Structure 1
Amino acid sequence: MLLLSLFSLLLTAPATPAPDWRTPFERGNGNTTATYDECIAYYQRLDAAYPEIQLSEAGTTDSGRPLHVVVLSGDGDTDPVSLRAKGRRIVFIQNGIHPGEPEGIDASLMLTRDYVQQKALHRQLDDVVLVIIPIYNVGGALNRNTGTRTNQNGPESYGFRGNARNLDLNRDYIKQDSRNARSFAALFQRWQPDVYVDTHTSNGADYQYTLTLIATQKDKLHPALSQYMQQELLPALYGGMDQKKWYLTPYVDFAGRTPDARGLVGFLETPRYSTGYTTLFNTIGFVTETHMLKAYTPRVRATYDFLSLLIGTVQRQRVALAAARATATLQTQQQQQFALGWRLDTTAAEQFTFRGYAGKTKTSDVSAQPRLYYDRQAPYTKPIPYYNTFRPTTTVQRPRAYVVPQAWGEVVERLRLSGVQLRPLSMDTVINGETYYIEDYKTGSRPYEGHYLHTGVQVRTVQQPRSFLRGDYYVSLDQPAARYLIETLEPQATDSFFAWGFFDSMLQQKEHFSDYVFEDLAANLLRQQPALRAQFDQKKQADPAFAASGPAQLDWIYQQSDHYEPSYLRYPVLRVR
């Protein structure tokens, strides 16, 4: 009887409820996004429940909170060296760089759960490893509000675009002013992913698409990777999203009044941007941009479906992807000429079938002037031009090495974080090489992300011996970071360290002269150096303004004399050919 009673009790005892694995987004009303604390807490639950998932800290951020990283590996191996040796392809997903654009945050929570709970998805982890930054801009995520995304249709509350230092982190990948960016660089170099995704929400025109896509600009990507991306990866992604009824379009950037007026223009991501930085290391990059005016739930679902489709496509195309990347790595080591600047070719366009809304005009209720609006009752599907061909405007020959003085410690630190191998000189020495002198540049009148950017840089090259000190750095180009080195250390490059102002102190003259003292010295120089006198007279004859200006004449003689400081406008980094 006792046994029967116990058996009866067991039959009638309430079953242990199954764990509730719904994400904060799924538990909400379809218009809410996970807070920072909710997001990290959910990943902590997943980490505790599934050996395939590891949540860890990956450095600091400007907010004082850590940067977290989630690794999702089918066999629980989270060592990138070991995983690469096994032939795994690595997909790196970054969310919340702009926390007011949070679709990727919520989509990745669901994605991580589903990849360990659904067998069909789990099988993909035999060949692909996922590395996920849950929220990159931690400070912006903590600065939660309901109003700053003026043009956006949900969610109800969200984070702020600027980080704890009010930096836009998607302009910080080269200059690395933020601790976030420095932590990212170390993490990226540790994993060296094959494909990188940065999740966003767009602004701009109105159109039918829920999701738009920025792919690494094809002409800036290494040709082997560009060919694979255009011929295999992108067709699979566009076709797969079509099958899911999330019709895909290139990012809707355009020069006309509306997208169909003059067509779409490709986005040129220079290295200040996430995918511009990752391209320097032969990583294919994507930026997903959901449309701000669509409801939040479809934006999250479309992001989820794209990420899942991308992972599955990488798994199926893993051999082709690995071969393209290996070719790109080998050929980059042998490449002799590199582009430093690009310009859109407005004569080259392909036709793209675009799903838009008619742009019309009506009278503004505010100004009583004509204003643009998009008529959702007038959808269209028609071919429009897509301009996505860029031509190099500035190129440079690859040097054998650079020599970087240790005095420029901020530059040296950033080189190290991006995986550059530096060899300190063992003794004071003289090295013969190419020295740049800055001939001209333009500087913005207003600060941009904490810097006054230099553009239009022109240099003069002089072959000369230079003295360097023990502890200065000899930086060989025979290393994987060769392209990164060229695009940061060549001052003419769009996002070089010179362009961002890291070498500005060499643009200021430190010594000068008093006119009344130098008058006698200048006269003696002209008497003692007939060739200088001839140059001086010729310049006066050719330039009336110069001939009429005593100070200009004294300054010219000063610049030709031994009194003129040799370091003025001399770029500190030496090129060794």
Structure 2
Amino acid sequence: MLLTSLLSLLLTLPVPASAPAAHAPAADWRTPFERGNGNTTATYDECIAYYQRLDAEYPEIQLREAGLTDSGRPLHVVVVSGDGDTDPASLRAKGRRIVFIQNGIHPGEPEGIDASLMLARDYVQKKALRRQLTDVVLVIIPIYNVGGALNRNTSTRTNQNGPESYGFRGNARNLDLNRDYIKQDSRNARSFAALFQRWQPDVYVDTHTSNGADYQYTLTLIATQKDKLHPALSQYMQQLLLPALYSGMDQQKWYLAPYIDFAGRTPDARGLLGFLETPRYSTGYTTLFNTIGFVTETHMLKAYTPRVRATYDFLSLLIGTVQQQKAALAAARTEAARLSQQQQEFALGWRLDTTQAERFTFRGYAGRMKPSEVSGQPRLYYDRKAPYTRSIPYYNTFVPTAAVQRPRAYVLPQAWGEVAERLRLSGVQLRPLTTDTVISGETYYIQDYKTSPRPYEGHYLHSGVQLRPVYQPRQFLRGDYYISLAQPAARYLIETLEPQATDSFFAWGFFDSILQQKEYFSDYVFEDLAANLLRQKPELQVRLTQKKQADPAFAASGPAQLDWLYRQSDHYEPSHLRYPVLRVL
């Protein structure tokens, strides 16, 4: 009876729901660096695979190919956008500020590669960071030097404390890509130029690891040289952006310093020197388009983990600061763009003004001398048991050494197709002439120049260019390019097409064929022609006599006098030493 009652009672009780199934383990979103021992960096394949996972999981992240590199592998770009919009024009219309981060230009300096993987993930997984994406879009090149990243080794970074293995500085063609932004020998640089012009970022960051002195800082910073940046942007950067970055890093105990470049035996001996990034460098190139540029330089002797963490914290701080200062940044870039169109004089060369110095509180280590175990001679070492903090001079004022007045336009013959291609990639608008046309303007004749005795990044660089300007009519053909300066790329055009500029196309050797004479004369034949020329032009005889009186060596050389007369005659080819680009005034 009791058993029957218990059974009836059990039948009336509600049937419990089945036990919930065990939750699937949470996805492991640790990056290759985070899964390692703190001294490893992601390989190229690991890096791209991780971004592919993020792209598949989060609509805010898009991974795309953006052209080829010299390795044959594609250049990838990652866009992190809060609403999933990845159209640059649309985003600019929404007032979004664009921060462009490039990693792995030197793959042996990989902190930015690992930091950006964590950064992209955190900006979609952490609410506080996601909120910044309402105003800021991140554009990330995961690894720029793909060929160097694939050429992995453990020994070429002799001065560096980890990671265990890493890529090589040279790319697949053994080019240093951070010298290639103007000449664009690499497919990497040509792909970058098109990508950069598509996004036209407000702020650009190139992540690196330093060499040089030993000091207390984990991370130092190259900011676009203030005197080369447009004044409207320079004022904003100096007064708002840089103070916020220095203060923010200090608060996180990543004490920040300018890049440690110096002239003395140690940084404190004679002070720090500002770094002048000409347009061959990434931030020198971006400056030509009114983009504020930064290069992060972590210290090679610090352990790898703090170098990655400092890079991550700087990038995160920069993005947050851009979000907070979005209105001031937008106003500064708008004003710079407006005034650039009115600017009439442009500097083409710069020198450091050693009469002007700021004071900077520097955290260093005492530099001492001891006998070398190799040579027995005195050698420098930094004593980490003797840290110091002291005020030292910081020389960061540059003054122009050469300037040029803005022309109305340039005319480029279509024969120079390599130059035209690079202009197009950098956003220059070229208008082909529709008929054969005579155009009057200023032509340069190359009077003198110096050429480096050894190749530098595949070129024999020219410098010290001296010019003789002549106003003259020139014949141009249908299809030659008329290039108006009334366009956003005006400063880029001036610094590449004015031959006396530091990183002009002439300096890099793109016009070298004009430097070689193509037609010559035989002395015994030209003797009679030259004598007849002097009889026909008595004023030429006067000039010849004056030149012989002023130059005894010339007076003693018959061939030199014949050559001089040849160059004054109609027989001398007009294209020799004539710079082919016409300045329309």
User: TM-score, length-normalised on structure 1?
Assistant: 0.99
Match of 1:169 among 177, 193, 196: 177
Matches within 5 A, 1:77-88: 77-88=85-96
3-state DSSP of counterpart to 1:268: coil
Q: 1:192 to 1:4 in 2, by over 3 A?
A: farther
Residue equivalent to 2:166: 158
User: 2: distance between equivalents of 1:278 and 1:537?
Assistant: 53
**Corresponding residue of 2:62:** 54
| 2:475 corresponds to 1:458 | no
SS of corresponding position for 1:546: helix
Please give the per-residue CA displacement for 1:47-81, whole angstroms capped at 9, x wherever unaligned.
Answer: 00000000000000000000000000000000000
Q: Equivalent residue for 1:357?
A: 365
Match of 2:458, SS state, is coil
- Are residue 219 (structure 1) and residue 227 (structure 2) matched? yes
1:509 corresponds to 2:521: no
SS of 2:191's equivalent in the other structure is helix
1:200 aligns with 2:224: no
Equivalent residue letter for 1:483: R
State how far apart, in whole Å, the 2-side matches of 1:213 and 1:538 are.
Answer: 58
Cα deviations by residue, 1:509-562 (Å, 9 ceiling, x for unpaired): 000100010011001111111111111111111211111000001001101100
DSSP 3-state at the match of 1:430 = strand
How far 1:14 moved relative to its partner?
2.6
Match of 1:432 in 2: 440
The one-letter amino acid paired with 2:33 is F
Measured in 2, the distance between the counterparts of 1:458 and 1:299 equals 46
What displacement does 1:15 show? 1.5
Change (3 A) 1:46 1:383: same
Q: CA–CA distance in 1 between the matches of 2:323 and 2:98?
A: 10
1:399 to 386, 392, 407: 407
Q: How does 1:202-351 map to 2 (within 5 A)?
A: 202-351=210-359
Q: Does 1:473 align with 2:481?
A: yes
Is 2:80 the partner of 1:72? yes
Give the one of 381, 394, 398 matched to 2:389: 381
Cα shift at 1:5: 8.5
- Describe the shift of the 1:560–1:17 C-alpha distance in structure 2 as closer, same or farther (beyond 3 A): same
State the number of aligned residues.
Answer: 574
Q: Secondary structure at the match of 1:107?
A: helix
**Cα shift readout 1:437-458 (whole Å, capped 9, x = no counterpart):** 0011000000000000001111
Q: 1:484 aligns with which of 468, 478, 492?
A: 492
Shift of 1:202: 0.1
Task: Select between 262-271 and 540-549 the one with higher mean Cα deviation.
Answer: 540-549
2:5 aligned residue: none
Taking the aligned partners of 1:123 and 1:22, their CA distance within structure 2 comes to 22
Secondary structure of 1:303 counterpart? helix
Q: Please state if 1:561 is matched with 2:569.
A: yes
Amino acid paired to 1:412: A
Q: What is the distance in 1 between the residues matched to 2:550 and 2:239?
A: 59
CA deviation digits over 1:377-403, x for unaligned, max 9?
Answer: 000000000000000000000000000
In 2: Cα distance, 1:531 partner to 1:454 partner? 36
Alignment partners' CA distance in 1, 2:169 and 2:17: 60
RMSD: 1.0
Deviation at 1:238, TM superposition (A): 0.1
Pair 6,460 (structure 1): closer, same or farther in 2 beyond 3 Å: farther
Q: Deviations for 1:442-492, whole angstroms, at most 9, x for unmatched residues?
A: 000000000000011110100000000000000000000000000000000
User: Is 1:549 equivalent to 2:557 in the alignment?
Assistant: yes
> Which of 71, 76, 89 is the matching residue for 2:97?
89
3-state SS of 2:75 partner? strand
Where 2:64 maps in the other structure, the secondary structure is strand
Structure with greater Cα Rg: 2
3-state SS of the aligned residue for 2:138? strand
Deviation, 1:7, is 3.6
Question: In structure 2, do the counterparts of structure 1 residues 463 and 6 end up closer, same or farther at CA, with 3 Å as the change threshold?
Answer: farther
Find the aligned partners of 2:545 and 2:64 in 1 and give their Cα distance: 71
Cα distance in 2 for partners of 1:30, 1:5 equals: 53
Q: Which residue of 2 aligns with 1:103?
A: 111
Q: What one-letter code is carried by the residue in structure 2 that aligns with 1:300? A: V
Task: State the partner residue of 1:497.
Answer: 505
- The structural deviation recorded for 1:4 is 8.7
Unaligned segments of structure 1, at least 5 residues: none
Say which of 372, 388, 395 aligns to 2:380. 372
SS of the residue 2:45 aligns to? helix
> Which residue pairs with 2:190 in the alignment?
182
Q: Which runs of 5+ in 2 are unaligned?
A: 1-10
For 2:549 and 2:32, the matched residues in 1 are separated by 79
1:529 aligns with 2:541: no
| Paired residue type of 1:34 | A
Task: For 2:556 and 2:370, locate their aligned partners in 1 and report how far apart those are by CA, in whole Å.
Answer: 60
Q: Distance in 2 between matches of 1:546 and 1:261?
A: 50
Any runs of at least 4 consecutive aligned residues in structure 1 with deviations exceeding 6 A, and if so which? Answer: 3-6
